[in-house]
Copies of this chain bind each other. A is one copy, B any other.
Amino acid sequence: MSAIEFRDHDHAACMRSTMQAAEAQCTARGLRLTPVRRRALEILLAEHRALGAYDLLAHLSAEGLGTQPPVAYRALDFLVKAGLAHKIEALNAYVGCVQPGADHAPAFLICRGCRSVAEAETTPSQSRLGDAARAAGFRIERSVVEAEGLCPACQKDDI
């Protein structure tokens, strides 16, 4: 589980298996992966990069799947709620989930060079933040953990 996103890999196979897992999830949970939603997910998964809602909309629009912002935001909303995509808060952008189904608390490594995003796991409750929360009597419902920096490839290109 160490950041396949930054490594060379058979991405065609990577996409296929991820889409299959996403479909399985939807079937199992009675969710409808409609054409727009499915295509939106494929677009997000096409590269391990964060895409803005309007970038996604441009792709969808080019394929005749809708032209107005709500089209993109509805698809993203569905995918995020279904755990098939994640929002990167630091970028106001979205990325396809590479382990759909795992009911996870993801953390992200975000390259500021190429905008690639790798997904890791967190355990908020075991973190120092978890300690602080307990001490303060704060009940954590959701956590955002995002690290920005440079991926191995972009480090070689210097800045």
Contacts and interface: CB of A to CB of B under 8 A. Distances in A.
Contact of A135 (B3, B139, B148, B151): B3
A148 B142 CA distance: 5
Interface stretch (A34-42, A55-63, A116-124): A116-124
Contacts of A150: 138-139, 141
A139 to B, nearest CB: 5
Contacts of A120: 128-129, 132-133
Chain A interface, >50% SS class: mixed
Interface residues of A, number: 42
User: What is the oligomeric copy number?
Assistant: 2
A36 to B, nearest CB: 26
A133 B109 contact: yes
A145 interface: yes
A136 B152 contact: yes
Interface of A: 1-3, 6-7, 89-90, 92, 107, 109, 111-112, 118, 120-124, 127-129, 132-133, 135-152, 155
